[in-house]
Copies of this chain bind each other. A is one copy, B any other.
Amino acid sequence: MLYALQLLGVTAFAASGAIVALRKGMDLIGVAVLSIVTAVGGGTIRDVLLDRPVFWIREPAYLTVGLASAAIMVIWMRFWRPPQQALGVADAIGLGLFAIGGAQIARQLGSAPAIVILMGTITGVAGGIIRDTLSAEIPTVFRRGQLYASAAITGTTAYVILVWAGTSEPIAAYISMAAVVAIRFAAVFFGIELPAPRILSEKKPD
State the A residues within 8 Å of B (CB): 21-31, 33-34, 44, 48-51, 53-54, 56-57, 60, 63-64, 74, 77-81, 84, 111-112, 114-115, 118, 129, 133-139, 141-144, 149-150, 153, 193-200, 202, 205
With a cutoff of 8 Å between Cβ atoms, the chain B residues found around residue A63 in the complex are 114, 118
Interface centre among A64, A133, A136 (most CB of B within 10 A): A136
A16 to B60, CA, bound (A): 33
Chain B positions within 8 Å of A31 at CB level = 197
Inter-subunit contact B26/A142 (CB<8 Å): yes
Residue in B27, B60, B195 whose beta carbon sits within 8 Å of that of A193 in the complex: B27
- Measured in the bound complex, the distance between the Cα atoms of B30 and A135 in whole Å is 19
User: In the complex this chain forms, how many copies of it are found?
Assistant: 3
Are A57 and B115 also in contact (CB < 8 A) when A142-B30, A194-B27 are?
yes
Q: A75 to chain B: closest CB distance in Å?
A: 8
In the bound complex, CA of A29 to CA of B121 (Å): 12
Residues of B within 8 A of A142 (CB): 21, 24, 26, 30, 33-34, 134-135
Give Cα distance in the complex from A195 to B202, angstroms.
31
Across-interface contacts of A53 in B (CB, < 8 A): 51
Check if A197 sits within 8 Å of B74, measured CB to CB.
Answer: yes
The answer to whether A30 and B143 have CB atoms under 8 Å apart is: yes
Distance of A138 Cα from B135 Cα, bound (Å): 5
A44 & B33 in contact (Cβ 8 Å cutoff): no
Q: Would A64 and B114 be within 8 Å (CB), given that A27-B196, A138-B24 are in contact?
A: yes
- A33, A54, A64 — most chain B CB neighbours (10 Å): A33
- Name the residue of chain B whose CB is nearest to the CB of A136: B138
On whether the beta carbons of A150 and B77 are closer than 8 Å, the reply is: no
A-B pairs, top 10 by smallest CB distance, nearest first, are: A27-B194, A30-B142, A60-B114, A77-B199, A27-B196, A29-B149, A74-B197, A27-B144, A136-B138, A29-B150
